[in-house]
Structure 1
Amino acid sequence: MLQFDGWCLSVDHPVGDHFCRVMTGQAANLPAGIGATAAIVPGHYASEEHVARALARLGKPAAAALIQGKLPTTKAIRSGDLGEIFATEWINRYSGYRAHIKRLRWKDHRNMAMRGDDVIGISQDQNTHRLYFLKTEAKSRVALTAQVLAEARAGLEKDGGLPSAHALSFISERLLEIHNPLADALDDAMLKHGIPTQNVRHLLFTFSGNAPDALLVAALQAYPGPITQWAVGLRVDGHAAFVGAVYDRVIADANNA
């Protein structure tokens, strides 16, 4: 899991009953951030087992080609993918929820964005076995705007604010493939118990070159609904250059492994 603490300064902004955190990449530590990010990116596109098998069977050039062939080549898709990767890593390390599926492994095409809920974090009560969900929309922009946050809000509000049945079914099928018993709990939540709104939180995750603080606070203040809201913004000055450097490093590391 990616540690943001080693290269970012985090500041929390309480907003009523909601939660807002802004992480700012520190200029002196951005090379470390690029390296740390590049180290976890390949696993979001291809399983470690697949890469290791290609390496063992076909050698280093083939394993490198496997990784490079899954990476997007356009700036916009790289930016969007990295926003989703950062959201997934933050959830797994800091939220108390777990994003069990790295869904970029199932992209239709490397230069296409995936549809549906960006990321869904899940936690399970060990006594009741009931599930709790963190429905997430991730946005990556050089310049974050209120309009972009409005688009994210629209995504969070789909399906009555609940995780979509399509997204949960996708996760359940992937978990079933790896014999994870959480697949049954997901099916129970969808088909037997239902998902009450009190078992859901929303996460609005942004990755931008400009300061997101005021925009995120305003977005939380404007939310009128019953679902607890979290907003996390990652700011990196030189956003586009950072994204390019991460993917360049991933390719270089794959060829030099």
Structure 2
Amino acid sequence: MAQFNNWCLSVDLQIGNHFRRVMTGQAASLPDGVEATAAIVPEHYASEEQVARALVRLGKPAAAALIEGKLPTTKAIRSGDLGEIYATEWIDAHSGGYHSPIKRLRWKDHRNMAMRGDDVIGILLDPQTQRLHFLKTEAKSRVALTARVLTEARAGLDKDGGLPSAHALSFMSARLLELDHLPLADAIDDALLKHGIPPQNVRHLLFTFSGNAPDALLAASLQAYAGPISQWGVGLHVEGHAAFIGAVYDRVIADANNA
């Protein structure tokens, strides 16, 4: 896990029916943030089984090369990927029961290309109805977050009537089948093809990772939303955003070579 609570100070605010959390990286604890993040980044690009098999068959240098070969080399793609990684980690640890069942970045077309479709989808199974609830997520990472970026994120969340896209759910179901997670794959197919997805079974998460404070921007975005779907806005604020991202990926490469 990204262990946000160990290196960030969190402040929550209720905005009407919506919720905002801002996590601010504490200067003295940012090295802890780099370490915690670097520990979980590789598993978002390659499964532990794939890395372990390369280690056993080919040795440590090849396993390290496998990891490094999957990492993006451009600053923009590293930034976007890390925003998605943080959103995924926040959902799994802090969303109150949703989880992201696949790590999408393992299926990138190319390490220096962004993924298409909904950034992240969290899933929660209602124990009473046995129906799925979805957390449709847009993740944005910027050195300087702006209202325009949040407008773009809102447009992404509002597509497909605010519901997770059929393409994204089909992609998720297919990957789960490959991983032999058959009950969850079937539940997604049932929601998509049999029962339908009512808006009351969907929540939106707007997740930002930025070098400037997102407090006012997230609040304004939540206040402006007039639709029927419950909204969460979560912002991770790290001073020295670009340097922090560089340090994370440098640490991932160093750890892979020293494992």
Query: Would you call these one fold, judging by a TM-score over 0.5?
Result: yes
C-alpha separation between the residues in 1 aligned to 2:108 and 2:176?
Answer: 17
TM-score with structure 2 setting the length: 0.99
CA offset digits 1:71-92 (Å, max 9, x no partner):
0000000000000000000000
Matched with 2:124 is 123
Letter in 1 for 2:140: K
Matched with 1:209 is 211
Matched with 1:60 is 60
Report runs of 4+ in structure 1 exceeding 4 Å deviation. none
Does 1:28 pair with 2:35?
no
C-alpha separation between the residues in 2 aligned to 1:49 and 1:191?
Answer: 32
Letter in 2 for 1:58: L
3-state SS of paired residue (2:203): strand
C-alpha separation between the residues in 2 aligned to 1:31 and 1:149?
Answer: 28
> How far apart are residue 127 of structure 1 and its match?
2.6
3-state SS of paired residue (1:127): coil
Of 244, 247, 252 in structure 1, the residue corresponding to residue 246 of structure 2 is 244
Number of positions where the alignment pairs a residue of Structure 1 with one of Structure 2 = 257
Name the % identity: 81
> How far apart are residue 3 of structure 1 and its match?
1.2
TM-score with structure 1 setting the length: 0.99
Matched with 1:47 is 47
Matched with 2:220 is 218
C-alpha separation between the residues in 1 aligned to 2:130 and 2:176?
Answer: 16
C-alpha separation between the residues in 1 aligned to 2:3 and 2:200?
Answer: 30
Letter in 2 for 1:149: L
Of 223, 227, 230 in structure 1, the residue corresponding to residue 232 of structure 2 is 230
Matched with 1:194 is 196
Matched with 2:180 is 179
* Gap runs ≥5 in structure 2: none
CA offset digits 1:195-239 (Å, max 9, x no partner):
000000000000000000000000000001000000000000000
Q: How does 1:69-80 map to 2 (within 5 A)?
A: 69-80=69-80
Alpha-carbon contact 2:2-2:33 (below 8 Å) kept: no
C-alpha separation between the residues in 2 aligned to 1:219 and 1:115?
Answer: 23
* Gap runs ≥5 in structure 1: none
CA offset digits 1:41-68 (Å, max 9, x no partner):
0000000000000000000000000000
CA offset digits 1:104-130 (Å, max 9, x no partner):
000000000011000000000123210
Matched with 1:142 is 143
